[in-house]
Amino acid sequence: MLCCSSCYGRKCRCRTSRHSPKTRHAKTPAGPRPLHDFTKEQVLNVQDFGAKADGKSDNFQAFKKAWDKACASLVSTKILVPKDKTYYVKHINFSGPCRSSISMEIQGTVRSFPEMYDTPRRLWIMFEDVRNMDVFGGGTIDGNGEVWWANSCKIKKTKPCQSQSAPTALTFKNCTNLRVSNLKLVNAQQMQVNFQDCNDVEASKLLVVAPAESPNTDGIHITRTTNINVLDSEIRTGDDCVSIVNGSRNVEVRNIVWTRPWHQKSAVQVENVIYRNIRGTSASKMAINFKCSQSVPCRNLMLQNVKLTAQEKGEKVEAFCSQLAMQTLNQNSFPSCPTH
């Protein structure tokens, strides 16, 4: 389903592909493939580098030491976060480039401290400039975001928004050949997962959860990223399910279950947007929903080569369009909004 607003309080299943604002014929993202031979890799346990699951220690140094050794290794290396352990970190940047393929198996829990504190560039955990990486393991990344939500400008209306920006929980920046799978991400301070300037990405089997009242907790945010699959995941957050913004090409979002009862009352101007080269099926009759603000209607929207059909054979899909101002064009697209 292609949405300009939300499916408030109900589950949405989306199947879209080839969101391509810049190219007419995009390359289909590659399917999952092994990054390295796991039977020959060395394993580094963060506990061997001083990590303490005592509920009070900042494990930044232990995680960083394990990462630096893995990144410098000439053989494939896995960093292990052990099962049934919870490790607190204030913030950490796992940076490359690395000399060989690298993976992080999170079996336990990585958790933020339950208070507000300074984070560099408003990022809690970031992987940057890394190729051939796999992050997986069945564990949990817990942003512990309650105190950040309580101090959000959307909750405390008297405080300016710019001074209340909370960190993104998990960021991948300038990464290539990346796999993120089988993880639970909960209670992000703001955005849950951010893919920025990445290429050849698969994010699958993720459970992304935040309370309905948590502001700005987008599930998965994609910006300036090429060839990315978001697959077979469940997202229950206080904001957008999957948000795709400028410069992203060849994006496939498939088999996503989304629940979002949170309704934001704020309005923003949406204008000069092109939806191009999108194929998919919709689980609901309303395949396209442009539900714009009455106070600031949408302006200059264009659908080019967008084809959405019903998931069930024989069913029909429709487009719902309200509060559209100025020109709205449909070129070789179905379903479509009435043109003005």
Integer Cα distance of 77 and 73 in angstroms: 7
Query: Which residue in the list 37, 48, 263, 340 is annotated as catalytic?
Result: 263
Q: And the tokens for 270?
A: 């949406």
Catalytic, 232? Answer: no
**166 in Cβ contact with 152 (< 8 Å):** yes
Phi/psi at 331 (5° precision): -115, 110
What residues does 64 pair with on adjacent strands? none
| Segment 25-31 long-range contacts (CB within 8 Å, at least 24 positions apart) | 25/277, 26/249, 26/250, 26/277, 27/227, 27/250, 28/250, 28/252, 29/200, 29/201, 29/202, 29/227, 29/228, 29/229, 29/250, 29/252, 30/200, 30/227, 31/202, 31/229
Integer Cα distance of 223 and 221 in angstroms: 7
Query: Which residue in the list 142, 218, 239, 240 is annotated as catalytic?
Result: 239
The dihedral over CA atoms of 198, 203, 207, 208, expressed in degrees to the nearest 10, equals 20
Catalytic, 142? Answer: no
Q: And the tokens for 90?
A: 């204030």
CA distances from 200 to 6, 192, 292, 326 (A): 28, 20, 33, 37
Integer Cα distance of 191 and 146 in angstroms: 13
Q: Which residues, other chains included, contact 163 with Cβ-Cβ below 8 Å and sequence gap of 6+? A: 153
Catalytic residues, which ones?
Answer: 239, 263
